[in-house]
Chain A
Amino acid sequence: MAVMAARAQKPLELILARNLLTSLSTPAFLVDEKAQLVFYNEAAGALLGRPFEDVGRMSPEKWISTYGPIGEDGEPMPLDDLPTTRAIRNGRPAHASFRIRSADGAEREIASSAFPIVASERGSSGAMILFWPTNDQGSEGDE
């Protein structure tokens, strides 16, 4: 059949990143080149109170409205200030601490580091974001 159907598959580097994140016990997100959330792992699901399978892909705006990252100044964090956005925009790792609201309404302080995923041919394919809870008693991520 000669038809090459519309693209169904993610770039390989995102597929490999997802496979890696699946095997980590560190909470982690994966976003595509438009900063759309395309995956988070079980550890992140535990942190947010909902597994990815229940949530599905999500635009950055939807992510903010759902989980409401709140900056250290107590104000909602602008999209442009999120480590994810900065990592994709600048092609460099970005780090920030903020609070998120999980599905049960509880707020959690976390530190977040975003690492851009850049393929030589395509440029940015997205970013990998790792989270560390900073206020959970006994958490290995305590700082």
Chain B
Amino acid sequence: MKIRVWGARGSVPAPGPEMVRYGGNTSSVQLLLDSGEQLLLDSGTGIRTLGLSLAAAPRVNILLTHLHLDHIQGLMFFPPCFRSDAEIAIWGPASPEASLEDRIARYISAPLSPVEVRELPCSVSFRDTPPSRWRIGSATVVCEAVNHRGPTLGFRITEGDTTVCYIPDHEPVLGTELADLDPEWISGYDLARDADLLIHDCQYADEEYPAHIGWGHSGMSDALTFASRVGARRVLLFHHDPLHSDSFLDRLRGTARRRWEELGNDPALVEMAMEGGELEVAGTALPAGVPA
């Protein structure tokens, strides 16, 4: 399974000369399965350039964790939306209030948008994520509500013996302490358990978090404590605060690696998500006798 990051920024796009290496686009991750299919995780502004890279007549599945603007803003500028040969399935959290299509149409409609969803020339379907696991191509997908402001999902995607978990907006430490907490009380635990790669919220440096408790995001040490508790093998810290420059994130990377090592893990296996960054993820072979 191959991962490409097209947007790693949180909250709002943050372009500028100090944001060149980590990038200013908001949440967008492309997951290329070994079978050749692909899943697009969230549709922040990074999905615009992702869409330019897609071949003709694309068939894509977009998995939305939630509908905050930094996770859907790129959808209206996703080039396949304007191609009649494109087939797009958009998966997102169900709501008793309105359908997924109607909720997204609040953004893709006047006066915020020059086009309406019904005017898009592509073939687009809106699907509530099912409560149990489901298959997209060769992947098995599981979603679960996680602790963030408003209904928000995390995704666990498994192909063969490889599992990637994506929880870009998550504050599992809110109102509790992660280090000694029984796993059954940890938000996101089942989703991220033993993942080969965990892509997780790291909006704040530790010293910034106390001023943002309850905002729905994680400080660096909390993100790594969560990753360690769930047994993630590799961690990609994601959803960078729009105030964090390249040099700030370089320093945070160094601190994160030391912290990850203190938690008993290989410091080389924690990384800051970077726009344009690619990762190859391989699973861990199961011990003999363990059913897949």
The chain A residues found within 8 Å of chain B, CB to CB, are 1-5, 7-13, 15-16, 18-20, 22-23, 119-122
Contact = CB atoms under 8 A, between A and B. Distances in A.
22 contacts: A1-B161, A1-B163, A1-B196, A1-B286, A2-B158, A2-B292, A3-B291, A4-B190, A5-B190, A5-B194, A9-B183, A9-B184, A9-B189, A12-B187, A13-B145, A15-B147, A16-B147, A18-B185, A19-B175, A20-B175, A120-B94, A120-B96
B236 to A, nearest CB: 17
B247 interface: no
B284 interface: yes
Nearest to B129: A121
B145 A2 contact: no
B175 A22 contact: yes
6 pairs of A and B residues whose beta carbons are closest in the complex: A19-B175, A9-B189, A12-B145, A9-B190, A2-B161, A120-B96
Interface residues of B, number: 38
B147 A23 contact: no
Contacts, number: 78
Contacts of A19: 174-176
Given A15-B186, A22-B176, A3 B290 contact: yes
B131 interface: yes
Contacts of B175: 16, 19-20, 22-23
Nearest to A38: B184
Interface of B: 94-96, 131, 133, 140, 142, 144-147, 156, 158, 160-163, 174-176, 183-190, 193-196, 283-284, 286, 290-292
A22 B185 CA distance: 12
A12 B194 contact: no
A7 B158 CA distance: 16
Contacts of A23: 175
A1 B283 contact: yes
A120 B194 CA distance: 28
A3 B286 contact: yes
Given A19-B176, A120-B95, 17 more contacts: A1-B196, A2-B140, A2-B158, A5-B193, A7-B190, A8-B193, A9-B144, A9-B184, A10-B184, A10-B185, A12-B147, A12-B187, A13-B145, A15-B185, A119-B145, A120-B94, A121-B94
